[in-house]
Homo-oligomer: A and B are copies of this chain.
Amino acid sequence: MIIAHTIEDVRTRVKQARAEGKRIGFVPTMGYLHDGHLSLVEISKQQSDFQVMSIFVNRIQFNDKKDFESYPREHERDFALAKSAGVHLMFLPEEEEMYCNQHTFVEMESLTEHLCGATRPGHFRGVCTVVSKLFNIVQPDVAVFGRKDIQQAIIIEKMVKDLNFPLRIIIAPTIREEGGLAMSSRNKHLSPSERIRALSIYRGLLAAKSLIESGNRDVRTIIAAAQSNIESSRPEKIDYIELVSYETLAPINIMNQRAILAIAAFFGTTRLIDNMLIEKNGEHYSCVL
């Protein structure tokens, strides 16, 4: 695995791979890799020949300075994991390599009003800007994002379409720890007891799934089922539990379309997110966690 610290080095290596006729796959991350990230590489390998991963903790997408500063970083461990997963080129830039008097930003005018967009002002502007930069640096054929960050994945798909980036986005399934907790680099911050309490998010999603798949169409009832599960484990705060349209990410009142049940809650000082995809097949709904 090659480790590149400069944009120029990435471009040289990618150009070489392309000259060899290889298709380029890309998995952008903020590091502290877990099996969720590695599953993205697996999916990328099915669609491309040369695997690029980036690790960059992107300051401009953090609305909370402490969250940025405490975001876990452990590069040697990440390198070993990425290498074993089959990454060919790791891009690990310093902040100065990525941002030098940055005044251009990519803004998304829809899809950002709800969920994390409402509770983390400026977050998706930072995400869209850094992902645009990374796409222009790596120039991949495919890029893979996890469904755990569903709003991010949908926003990036829309951005790619709107700005005509010449690549394809793949949204990959959420990978869960034993007990159902969605894998996240932030899980590291959970104390053992917080980690146990946090399992209530998964139980809340399962309760909602059970209602929906048994025919319940009342959104308030469905949300209440998730909420009572989560509240029973005394989260420090619930940012949101919302059932939203997959298309617009706006809340819906009745189940009548492809949708998402999305949750953000704090356990201790750690903010966790999770969601469930609600697929519509005629009059039947099936839930994917």
**Chain A contact residues, CB within 8 Å of chain B:** 7, 11, 102-111, 128-129, 132-133, 136-137, 139, 158-159, 162-166
Contact = CB atoms under 8 A, between A and B. Distances in A.
A106 B163 contact: yes
Assembly stoichiometry (copies): 2
A162 B109 CA distance: 20
A104 B137 contact: no
A289 B90 CA distance: 47
Contacts of A133: 162-164
A28 to B, nearest CB: 13
Nearest to A102: B162
A contact face: mostly helix, strand, loop, or mixed:
mixed
Which of A108, A110, A139, A162 neighbours the largest number of chain B CB atoms within 10 Å of its CB? A162
A164 B7 contact: yes
User: Which 6 pairs from chain A and chain B are nearest by CB?
Assistant: A104-B162, A103-B110, A136-B164, A103-B109, A133-B164, A104-B159
A136 B162 CA distance: 10
A200 B106 CA distance: 40
A134 to B, nearest CB: 8
A136 B163 contact: yes
Contacts of A103: 108-111, 158, 162
Contacts of A165: 136
A11 B163 CA distance: 14
Contacts of A111: 103
A126 to B, nearest CB: 13
A162 B104 CA distance: 6
B163 A104 contact: yes
